[in-house]
Structure 1
Amino acid sequence: MRTVNKIIGGRPINVGSIKVQELLPNNGEFFSPFLVFHHGIAKIEEHIPIHQQGVGPHPHRGFSAISFIYRGGVHHRDSRGNNHKVYAGGTQWTSAGMGIIHSERVPEDIFDHGGEQELLQVWVNTPAAHKMDQPAYYPATAEETPTIVTEDGLTIVRVPAGNVNGTKGIIPTFTDVTTAMVDMKAGGHFTFNFNASHNTLVYVLKGKITINATHVVTTKQLALMNNDGDSFTITATEDTILFVGSGEIINEPIASHGPFVMNYQTEIMEAFRDYQMGKMGVLIEE
């Protein structure tokens, strides 16, 4: 069985109008291929125009920026002409490639969906061979996402990307990366099977679980797993919402600054230059 290396908590930061818990980087360290792991919750303000709430236009290069949406919705726009909304249970996967500008706003009908926005924002590294590919945007609604429901009905596992026990996601990735959005009722349990060489993490948005009946992980805690086995079992000790990610380690140098993740510092300087010159396009929000 794969064992737990450590369990960590986050630090509070602000991203746009969203209050965020930052779990990765942890003490300046990534967990390849996972670079950034943010848990954001926003209560929508009725006295502020909807189009001003959320995260405004900003650039990316060299990785995939992914929103896993748990409550409310996200209105994605980008400099490649994509203009799309996804609601709870869905995913918005932006492969930044050589450069894209996007915004992640609040949809106009947010109050019809509870008036709150909760999501995970996860950055997954792209290998050097594909960092300068053309950008791409891959949305997946909850209904479109391949889903596992256990026989007892206590566990639901949605698989936007990768492979969970034979259920394959619909979003393409450059390396072997699996993401799973999991809902568990108290008493539910599920055994995940991943390549032992892949880095694997488990995050609890709300609730409490045990991993292999030995380690307790509770609300807003992230478990980083060891690379010493290919399976582990999660059991919910109360109703729980959680996320599981596993991915092939990218053994390449990382140079990062702000919204850009490349391999060398000169490439970061080139990214800023290209952005300033308009080579990543223009996004004017309507």
Structure 2
Amino acid sequence: MPIIQTITGRSRDLGGFSVSRVLPAPARRTLGPFVFFDEMGPADFPAGQGIDVRPHPHIGLATVTYLFAGGLTHRDSLGTVIDIAPGAVNWMTAGRGITHSERSPTALREAGHHMHGIQSWVALPVAHAEDAPAFVHHPADTLPVVGLPGARLTIIAGTMFGATSPVRFPHPIIYAELHLRAGASLALDPAWGEIGVYPITGAAHVDGSALTPGSLAVVEGAATLTANTPLHAMILGGAPFAEPRIIEWNFVSHSRDRITQAETDWRAGDFPQVPGETEFIPLPETPPKPQPRVDYP
């Protein structure tokens, strides 16, 4: 059976904004380098309302924001200020430590807007966990698009079907947005490593096993994804790490001591600050288990 596991997203209401948390889950903590995967929305914000994620820290990971609708203004301790639009990629490498905030852009907040997208984290390899923090933005028109019979893929990270994303990540990874026409099929390559298919809308199956929108299907071995109706989905995964990862709040590391040090540094105010912002999210003192503490949006 190609589908070896199905992970259903767990709904979390963040004050009128629905998030479906898929990874980490009790049944599976990681998929390739992915340690966190949330579907944000869909949600409609009336005029005057939006998302306000106060400054908070990260270590040991890269955050990946990919939107289908709406927008977010990203600010970080490197001095970056940039809006992300649907189809573009914000890729923030935390390395040894970064602080950032995410808020609804002023124009969208004033007008009211529809919001929908994916927020994910990928763990950095141990050799790169303490790299200098960095931020890159890739507009939608810089991402390669692969056209196959009945299929259209935007390659967000890694190499798939002969196309390579401009995102640079020091570990084998795959990540793509897929639109598949009803009746069309797509071969899933076991050479990609661990593979997950996350349907957003539409009905589909992998070698006869049905997929459920909002649930991550983990696929093993050579398999074929076939759409029963027009399908919108994400494909993600890559090579797993040899070392397990610890996730506490917004910190990721292979070392418990490193997590403890990051918590101490945030309490003491020793992380770099986001220029022009004085708010911050305090470190929660009683983290729920086994899930990480996450304070966005």
TM-score, length-scaled by structure 1? 0.88
Are the structure 2 counterparts of residues 133 and 14 from structure 1 closer, same or farther at C-alpha, using a change threshold of 3 Å? farther
Residue matched to 2:168: 172
Measured against aligned partners, the alpha-carbon deviations of 1:48-100 in whole angstroms (never above 9, x if no partner) come to 3x5xx242221111111111211112211111111111211222111111111
Residue matched to 1:205: 200
Deviation, 1:279, is 3.8
Q: In 1, distance between residues paired with 2:109 and 2:210?
A: 35
Contact 2:47–2:110 (8 Å) recurs in 1: no
Are the structure 2 counterparts of residues 64 and 109 from structure 1 closer, same or farther at C-alpha, using a change threshold of 3 Å? same
Deviation, 1:185, is 2.5
Contact 1:34–1:124 (8 Å) recurs in 2: yes
Deviation, 1:7, is 1.8
Are the structure 2 counterparts of residues 92 and 164 from structure 1 closer, same or farther at C-alpha, using a change threshold of 3 Å? same
Q: Is residue 91 from structure 1 mapped to residue 85 from structure 2 by the alignment?
A: no
Deviation, 1:28, is 6.0
Residue matched to 2:263: 272
Segments of 4+ moved more than 3 angstroms: 14-18, 111-114, 276-279
1:256 pairs, out of 214, 236, 247, with 247
Which structure 2 residue ranges, 5 or more long, are not aligned?
279-297
Contact 1:25–1:37 (8 Å) recurs in 2: yes
Residue matched to 1:33: 33
Residue matched to 2:290: none
1:192 pairs, out of 170, 188, 195, with 188
Measured against aligned partners, the alpha-carbon deviations of 1:18-59 in whole angstroms (never above 9, x if no partner) come to 3211111121631242211111113223243x5xx2422211
Within 5 Å, give how 1:225-240 maps onto structure 2.
Answer: 225-226=219-220, 229=221, 231-240=222-231
Measured against aligned partners, the alpha-carbon deviations of 1:163-206 in whole angstroms (never above 9, x if no partner) come to 0011101100020111101122322322232426x211110111
SS at structure 2 position matched to 1:109: helix
Deviation, 1:223, is 0.2
Q: Is residue 222 from structure 1 mapped to residue 211 from structure 2 by the alignment?
A: no
Which structure 1 residue ranges, 5 or more long, are not aligned?
none
TM-score, length-scaled by structure 2? 0.85
Residue matched to 2:282: none
- Count of aligned residue pairs for this structure pair: 275
Are the structure 2 counterparts of residues 82 and 165 from structure 1 closer, same or farther at C-alpha, using a change threshold of 3 Å? same
Q: In 1, distance between residues paired with 2:135 and 2:253?
A: 20
Within 5 Å, give how 1:1-286 maps onto structure 2.
Answer: 3-14=2-13, 18-27=17-26, 29-31=28-30, 32-41=32-41, 42-48=43-49, 50=50, 53-110=51-108, 115-150=113-148, 152=149, 154-195=150-191, 198-212=193-207, 214-226=208-220, 229=221, 231-283=222-274, 284-285=276-277
Deviation, 1:3, is 1.4
Q: CA RMSD in A?
A: 2.3
SS at structure 2 position matched to 1:143: helix
